[in-house]
Structure 1
Amino acid sequence: MSLTDRQLNLISKQDAYNGKAEISDGEGLVVRITPQAKIYFDYRCRFNKKSLRIRIGKYPVTSLKEARRKHKLMMELRESGRNPNIALTGELEFITLDDCVAYWLKHYVPQLKAGTQALYRSFAKNYLIGAFPERNVETIPAREWMQWLDTISLDKPKTANSLFTKLRACLNFCKSKFIIEKTDLDRIKRQHVGKAPEVGTRVPTFSELSMIWLAIERSRASSSNKALHQLTMLWGSRLSELRLARRSHFDMEAGIWTVPKELSKTNTPIRRPIPTKARMILERVMATYDDVLFPGGDLDKPITISAANRYIRRIRDGLPIEDWRTHDFRRSLSTGASELGVMPHVVEKMLGHELGGVLAVYNKHDWLKDQLEGYELYAEKLDSYLK
């Protein structure tokens, strides 16, 4: 039975009330009545798989007619997939977080490297899209931003910290394009969100590297997956530089591997020599595979980063040594080559780093001969442990 103004008026004039605490007007519109005879209009519904109870107003400041008008608008918004709270703010046209993310993914992210694009799209899909449905991104309070980030941080503190930087980059890009003016996220500092990624300190020793090498040799995996990680160990390269490599990147006659700028973290080509031990593995790979040298299940596509990491996690779990990652091979190369007498500027080139200061501007020499000597020394040292 629908409510009437007369019914509400009679209740509101009482000093105390001991009747039903809640009376329905139909389709989710209810009045809540306190023992002190105070009357409130609420809208109860489900939105985005959650139960909502939205306070419309207090009677008689908000009349029954006005409550029904707002209730009707709320139902229309909900049925169209929009947050019914919008009916109370009057902001029927505004920019949401989803709008910002979509704009960022379309106009900024495609300029980045393929791996970075995939990472940003994954964060957007898993965390950003749908986080604040039908909310004006410019009016979301800092407290709500922080509560949302803290919820993620409970289980994944490093993810929350990384997510914050990507969210901030997204919103800053939208501000630079005058899509939005400001948000309360600007009030939050990165150090207050989750846990920042730790700077790596793990340096697998030659003894540990030999154990990892043999575990890879004995594992049940595709030859491309094995070769990918063994070559990464020998070259000290970034995994993506090899994982995405093509046959054309290797000049076997000249003995040079060129990482194109599209795959280089520094956005400049990286040239490395092909040492003896790496050449032997590379020749086997080239005899087995076509243009894509390190494929996954599909021979025409490089193995995915998740598949590569899953494989190395299996290797790691089966070894009785301190926790390590593929990226730690770079630290082993840097430390090991330096201990073997390789000059610092040569080690930096072996790692694919840009030289600092004026050298970065004027000196484009690769020291390929010195790099090759360094790689041969490093491989010989590793071989001495393998034997």
Structure 2
Amino acid sequence: MLTEKEIKALKGLEKNKKYFDAHGLYIEVTPKSRKYWRYKYRFKKKEKRISLGVYPQISLKEARLKRNDAAAILAEGKDPALFFSKGRKAEVVSSEHNTFYTVSREWFQKNETRWSASHAKDVKARLEKNVYPFIGDIPVEEIQPIDVLNALRKVEARGSHEVAHRTLGICGMVFRYAVAACMVKSDPCRDLKGALTPPKKGNYAAITDHKEIGALMRSIFGYNHTKLIKCATLFSAYTFCRQKEIRNAKWSEIDFKEAIWVIPGEKMKMKLDHIVPLSRQCLEILEQMAPISKHCSEFIFPSIRTNSRPISDGSVNIALRSMGYSKEQMTAHGFRAMASTRLYEMNRYRGEVIERQLAHTERNKVKAAYNRAEYFEERKAMMQEWADYLDAAAKEF
């Protein structure tokens, strides 16, 4: 017979290993050292088994009591599986068929066809990296809120608070599917509201984690609703200008020969002319937009309803929402914070170069008025490197 001391010392091997106690009770240890209580018995000449819980939540003493309860039901000529599964139809109740991994894969396959390829890839990657290693082999009916929280705490430990929240949302959808399929009675994720650290917030939500930036760019590249809005969103990411400036950008402001965008002072927050060096990627976007708007509108990104006005101020935000990003995770204005944070972390460009490109003007406007092209060569190199960085991040994971 087993002892508590022996059970605590059990470690995972290459394959699942069973350790028997007595009268059909045994504990099964997975390669990740998860420990499950099982009761094996015969009913109508068929060998069956049921799950009695997870150790240490269920102690040796409690497991033996549950085993005794099941044995008593069996002695009455009834199948313990029907009692322990609380009336669910089951010829054989084997919790291993309903692990989080198998249930999530079933949920994924049923939804994959309605997602973009990039979104499906991101969902799969989040599950494989952040969830499966910790609760993937646990039957869904045995997973408690603390099991999910412990997995997400490891994501938070990397500083990826936004990823943790998005992963929690995915887990919730999996469990709600399990509820609908009568595999579990309730979603354990619903009890985790407020348990995670909120993502850092400034005036506008922004993604700044390297891996999440890659995921964001993949989502934008995979956006296929409106080419005009997709181009405006990419232009926002590459130039990190304010949305008002991008929305009102005109063809007359683009110098293709010099590869620059000169924004007149009256459009700028600080009322000073601003030069934006255009990366190769930005020029490609303009080439894509030319046949759409250059011949019929002064605006690069005109309204879908009329060429006499630019796109609405919520267009890029609406696109981000349709990609699955909430307003607490990413906003159109957040591209500025994303670029500022990552460029400073790269430690390749001086702060004044970054601030100049962000159009954070000096307090002395008289002096600043003469500096619209200040640090231009450095800014030009930086803008191309930033665009290349975004493209590379999208392909990295």
> Is the pair's TM-score, using the shorter chain for normalization, greater than 0.5?
no
TM-score by structure 2 length? 0.44
TM-score by structure 1 length? 0.45
Larger radius of gyration: 1
